[in-house]
C-alpha cells in the first residue's frame, strides 16, 4: 500500500529536541480553528484518539513537520503562509522552508530493515510500565520487542493498512528518563530491526505528535 507523506523542514531555525511539544503548542493554537488533525482535539475539547496524522519534531536541532495523507495536505495549505515561529516569546523569522511530498510504501516483507530512533521512544503505557519494571533484563528485551510490534501495528492501522503477515521486531535499546507533562517517564534510545517498512521520520509509540519515537532507516 502507498500513502502520501509530507515533510516541512525549517533549516534556518535551531531548537532543542525538547522544544517539539512547544512547536506543537504554537502551531496547534495558531491553526486551532482549521482542523483537529493539527492538535488532536475537537472543538468541544475532547481528544482525538487516533494515530496523529500531523507530527511536530526537532531532528538534529531542526524543526520538522511530518504529515500523512490528509495531515500532509493541511501542512501544505497552511504552513506555506508561515513567516515566523514563536516559541515561548522567542520569535524566529522563517527565511526558508524545505517542503517535500512523496508516495511511500507500507508493507511487511521477508527481508529485515534496520532502524534507529532519532528521538526517544516512549513504548510503555501506565499498565505496561508496571509490568516492565518487575522483569529481569532478558525478559525486558522480549517485552520491549512485543511493544515495538504492537506500536508498528498501531501505526499501520492508523493509516488504514491491514496486513496478514506477522510483524517481527528485534530491539537494541537503552533505558532513559524523560520529562513528559511534568512527570518523569521511562523512554528508550537505540535501534531495532523489523520486517515492516516504516516511512522515514514517522513516529511510533506514545506522544508521536510531540516528536517522540521518530524512526529513521539505517543506511
pLDDT at position 62 over 80 = yes
Q: Are residues 95 and 61 in the same domain?
A: yes
Task: Give the pLDDT mean for 109-132.
Answer: 93
Q: How many domains does the chain have?
A: 2
Taking residues 5-16, report their average pLDDT. 94
Per-chain mean pLDDT for the chain: 89
Adjacent-strand bridge partners of 116 = 191, 216
Q: Are residues 81 and 33 in the same domain?
A: yes
123 and 94 co-located in one domain: no
Q: What's the pLDDT at 101?
A: 94
pLDDT of the residue at 42: 46
- Residues 6+ away with beta carbon under 8 Å from 48: 36, 37, 40, 41, 42
Do both 165 and 205 map to the same domain? Answer: yes
Do residues 133 and 139 touch, judged by C-beta distance below 8 A?
no
What is the average pLDDT across 134-143?
A: 93
Q: What is the CATH number of the domain that holds 99?
A: 3.30.70
Q: Do 81 and 125 belong together in one domain?
A: no
Q: What is the CATH number of the domain that holds 132?
A: 2.60.40
Q: What are phi and psi of 188, to 5 degrees?
A: -140, 140
Considering the domain architecture, whether residues 117 and 208 belong to the same structural domain is answered as yes
Last residue in a domain, options 83, 103, 123: 103
Confidence of residue 106 (pLDDT cuts 50, 70, 90): very high
Phi and psi dihedrals of 174, rounded to 5? -120, 135
CA 187: distance to chain centroid?
A: 14
Burial class (CB in 10 A: 0-12, 13-18, 19+), 83: exposed
Binned at pLDDT 50, 70 and 90, residue 137 comes out as confident
DSSP 6-25: EEEE-TT----GGGHHHHHH
**pLDDT in the model for residue 74:** 84
60, 83, 103 — which closes off a domain?
103
Residue 108 β-bridge partners: 196
Query: Where does residue 71 rank: exposed (0-12), middle (13-18), buried (19+ CB within 10 A)?
Result: buried
* Residue numbers of the domain that contains 31: 2-103
Boundary (domain end) residue, out of 68, 88, 103: 103
Query: Looking at the structure, do residues 74 and 92 belong to the same domain, yes or no?
Result: yes
User: How many residues in the chain?
Assistant: 219
Q: Are residues 16 and 94 in the same domain?
A: yes
pTM: 0.90
Between CA 8 and CA 4 the distance in angstroms is 13
Residue 55 has pLDDT above 80, yes or no: yes
CA 171 to CA 108: how far, in whole Å?
17
Which residues, in sequence order, are bridge partners of residue 141?
none
* More confident position, 38 or 196: 196
- Say if residue 133 is in the same domain as residue 85: no
Whether 211 and 112 map to the same domain: the answer is: yes
The C-alpha atoms of residue 107 and residue 118 are separated, in whole angstroms, by 22
Same domain, 95 and 194: no
Number of H helices, E strands in the chain: 4, 10
Q: Residues 86, 128: one domain?
A: no
Per-residue pLDDT tens digits for 145-161: 999 999 999 999 999 99
Strand (E) or helix (H) holding 157: helix 137-158
Amino acid at each position: 500500500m502507498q500513502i502520501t507523506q509530507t515533510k516541512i523542514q525549517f533549516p534556518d531555525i535551531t531548537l532543542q529536541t525538547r522544544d517539539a511539544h512547544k512547536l506543537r503548542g504554537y502551531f496547534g493554537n495558531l491553526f486551532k480553528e482549521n482542523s483537529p488533525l493539527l492538535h488532536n482535539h475537537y472543538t468541544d475539547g475532547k481528544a482525538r484518539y487516533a494515530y496523529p496524522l500531523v507530527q511536530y519534531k526537532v531532528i538534529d536541532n531542526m524543526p520538522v513537520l511530518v504529515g500523512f495523507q490528509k495531515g500532509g495536505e493541511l501542512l501544505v495549505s497552511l504552513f506555506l503562509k508561515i513567516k515566523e515561529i514563536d516559541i515561548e516569546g522567542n520569535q524566529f523569522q522563517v527565511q526558508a522552508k524545505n517542503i517535500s511530498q512523496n508516495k511511500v510504501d507500507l508493507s511487511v516483507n521477508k527481508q529485515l530493515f534496520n532502524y534507529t530512533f532519532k528521538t526517544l521512544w516512549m513504548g510503555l503505557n501506565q499498565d505496561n510500565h508496571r509490568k516492565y519494571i518487575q522483569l529481569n533484563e532478558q525478559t525486558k528485551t522480549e517485552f520491549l520487542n512485543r511493544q515495538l510490534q504492537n506500536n508498528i501495528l498501531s501505526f499501520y492501522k492508523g493509516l488504514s493498512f491491514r496486513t496478514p503477515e506477522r510483524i517481527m521486531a528485534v530491539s537494541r535499546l537503552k533505558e532513559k528518563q524523560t520529562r513528559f507533562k511534568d512527570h518523569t517517564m521511562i523512554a528508550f534510545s537505540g535501534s531495532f530491526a523489523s520486517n515492516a517498512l516504516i516511512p522515514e521520520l514517522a513516529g511510533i509509540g506514545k506522544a508521536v505528535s510531540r516528536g517522540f519515537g521518530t524512526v529513521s532507516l539505517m543506511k
